[in-house]
Amino acid sequence: MSVINPGVSAPSATRAAARARRREERELEAATTIRIFGIRRRTVALVTGLCILFALFTLVPIAWMLINSTKNQANIFESFGFWFARPFVLLHNFKMLFENVDGDGTYIQWLGNTALYAGLGGIGATALSALGGYGFAHFKFRGSKLAFSLVLAALLVPIAAITLPLYFVYAKVGLINNIWGMILPSMVSPVGVLLMRVYVSGSVPRELIDAARLDGASEPRIFFRLAVPLMVPGLTTVLLLSVVGIWNNYFLPLVIFSKNSMYPLTEGLGLWASHASTSGDQNIYPLLVIGGFVTIIPSIALFLILQRYWRGGALLGSFAN
């Protein structure tokens, strides 16, 4: 026989027991919830699902190009796009890719031009971004905040807004159909300056710089011997972003170049596509597919080779200040 406390009514006891049970359930849920980097398991699952969707969105076009690079023109339009078909002509298409197509230009020439523009422009953008970011991070001078605000404002200016003035300036100084007309604007990277300023603020302590100055080190020696080794992940990040941006640039070479021999890959493949649509030459479509696939291979390889430095630079820069 149960004994009921006469001082406590049955409804009150029932409510107190329900509250205690709910409190125990919340404590049990909190104890069993898996947290990764302070994030609940359900949030991690949601973010993982979004990452998978983004990966599919990115990889599906690459898979399509890879599969259709093995087909002839008829199979590209008539067969299922995400499966192989006979005849398997990957090697034939790859061989034809590096041959001249009706005098329009050669893929190997455009590939060399793109590598030249991206290499020189990327190195120049990285060097200028390193100097600018280091200066804004560790030097305070009159107008420094205004100058950095102008750098940030440059991020909001679309390239289409400066196309006509850029063309007139280039025409006056003789940079039309000149490789420096492509390289010099590519060396200006407001994003790179912003990233390097944030990264330098977090990875190159001011106390270390002051100690080197007290020891009598000159500013160039401090920068090249002390700061640059600490900035390698950030420099790699800026280099990757700059090279890929120049590699994929379509609008700037469209304004600067009118000679087929100076085109980068973006303009060269566009020329082939225009030729195929106007002349009805059906043999160019397989070259366009495999040409697009080969075009993205250097960018992917560069990211895979330097991903360790790029990931470290991106993470450290994101937590700085």
Identity at 263, one-letter amino acid code: Y
More confident residue, 260 or 9: 260
The token pair that represents 92 in the structure block: 């034939």
Tell me the sheet residues that pair with 36: 39
Distance CA 74, CA 123 (A): 43
Q: What is the pLDDT of residue 303?
A: 84
User: Quick one: average pLDDT of 50-72?
Assistant: 90
pLDDT tens for each residue of 225-250:
889 988 888 899 899 999 999 998 88
pLDDT for residue 93 is more than 60: yes
Contact between residue 203 and residue 226 where contact means Cβ atoms under 8 Å apart: no
Higher pLDDT, 54 or 315: 54
Q: What local confidence, expressed as pLDDT, does residue 321 receive?
A: 42
H or E stretch including 86?
Answer: none
Average pLDDT, the chain: 82
Percent of the chain with pLDDT strictly greater than 70: 84
pLDDT band (50, 70, 90) for residue 39: low
**CATH class name, domain 99-319:** mainly alpha
**What letter represents residue 305's amino acid?**
I
Q: Which two tokens stand for residue 33?
A: 């919830």
Confidence at residue 13, expressed as pLDDT on a 0 to 100 scale: 67
- Contact between residue 72 and residue 89 where contact means Cβ atoms under 8 Å apart: yes
Q: Which residue has the higher pLDDT, 41 or 75?
A: 75
Residue-wise pLDDT for 211-223, tens only, equals 988 988 898 899 9
d(CA 198, CA 200): 6
Query: What is the per-residue pLDDT across 97-134, written as a single tens digit (0 to 9) for each?
Result: 887 655 566 888 899 999 999 999 999 999 999 999 99
Per-residue model confidence as pLDDT tens digits over 190-212: 999 999 998 898 888 888 888 98
Domain-wise residue ranges, the chain: 99-319
